[in-house]
Structure 1
Amino acid sequence: MKKAILSFFTLLILISCNNQKPQNMESKNTALVKQYFEHFNNHKWKEMSEMYTPTADFKDPSLGTGIVKQTRAETLKKYSELNQMFPDLTDKVIQIYPSGENNVIVEFVSSGTAEDDSTFELPICTIFTIENGLITKDFTYYDNFDE
């Protein structure tokens, strides 16, 4: 009986130790996503674009349907141009949901004011896939029905 109890606790300890890696990756990926939004809100587009792999997969209604591959330079250009249209462009993170070892889901509200004083406020959900400390996929969803 003692051997069975000892074996059970040994197995339990080994299983507990094995679960620490994904939690550690989740916290690293969550920290990376928080840094991403800090760069976004400070309009540091170059630094933000460098958080992606040299070519990353994007799903974004503004890019059309399906998956679109974009380089860091294209990402930098996209956000620089968006910032020119909306100088006070800001993302307010509502919630961050780590999902497995490589994914982080972010719920946020993007807002800004155009030069003609028109404003927008857009609820968005993005699923980031992160591998080796870089974003490989950025799948963004929002209602663009009014466009």
Structure 2
Amino acid sequence: MKNVALLFSIIFTVCSCKDQVKTPNLDPSKKEKIVQQYFEYYNNHQWNELATLYSPIADFKDPSFGPEMTIQTRRQTITKYNKLNTLFADLHSEIVKIYPSDEQHIIVELVSTGTAADSTKFKLPICKIFTIDKGKITQDFTYFDNFDDSNSDK
């Protein structure tokens, strides 16, 4: 009888230690759809709609905010893009490639363009890393070279 009880306890222990299947946070195709929707809103300058893709409070890393991470509300996000759109009326971003990453992250390579009021044009390669949790963007980390190196030998 002791052997049977010991056998059952060993079987129970082995079975309970088995790796549990973890359901993904979000289907990779859904993350990509969120990113596609983001850039559709961006290119149509629909800042209110774009802000709804973010969680109510999101983390941002962006050279325009300085070197540190900052926290923004949806309202602050709308304000930021409205100001940017005021400076560059034809603001547009073209996705070069989307790189799905782990269950919460997706990386986007893009080129942003625009024309200032003085007719100065810009073309800027950018990399964005989005963290998406429960269908909302919780982190938006943006990287680009904002130094003018037009005098370089490159």
TM over 0.5: yes
Q: What residue number does 2:94 align with?
A: 92
Q: How many residue pairs end up in the alignment?
A: 129
Whole-angstrom distance in 1 between the partners of 2:77 and 2:71:
10
Whole-angstrom distance in 2 between the partners of 1:91 and 1:23:
27
Alignment of 1:36-47 (within 5 A): 36-47=38-49
Q: Which runs of 5+ in 1 are unaligned?
A: 1-17
State the TM-score, normalized to the length of structure 1. Answer: 0.83
Taking a change above 3 Å as real, the CA distance of residues 56 and 47 of structure 1, as seen in their structure-2 partners, is: same
**Larger-Rg structure:** 2
RMSD across aligned positions (CA): 1.8
Please state if 1:62 is matched with 2:33.
Answer: no
Question: Displacement, 1:22?
Answer: 4.4
State, as a whole percentage, how many aligned pairs show the same letter: 53
Equivalent residue of 2:27, what SS?
Answer: helix
Equivalent AA in structure 1 for residue 110 of structure 2:
F
Q: Which runs of 5+ in 2 are unaligned?
A: 1-20, 150-154
Hey, which bits of structure 1, 4+ residues long, moved more than 4 A?
Answer: 21-24
CA contact (8 A) 1:22 1:100 kept: no
State the TM-score, normalized to the length of structure 2. Answer: 0.79
Whole-angstrom distance in 1 between the partners of 2:87 and 2:25:
39
Considering fraction of residues, name the structure with more helix.
1
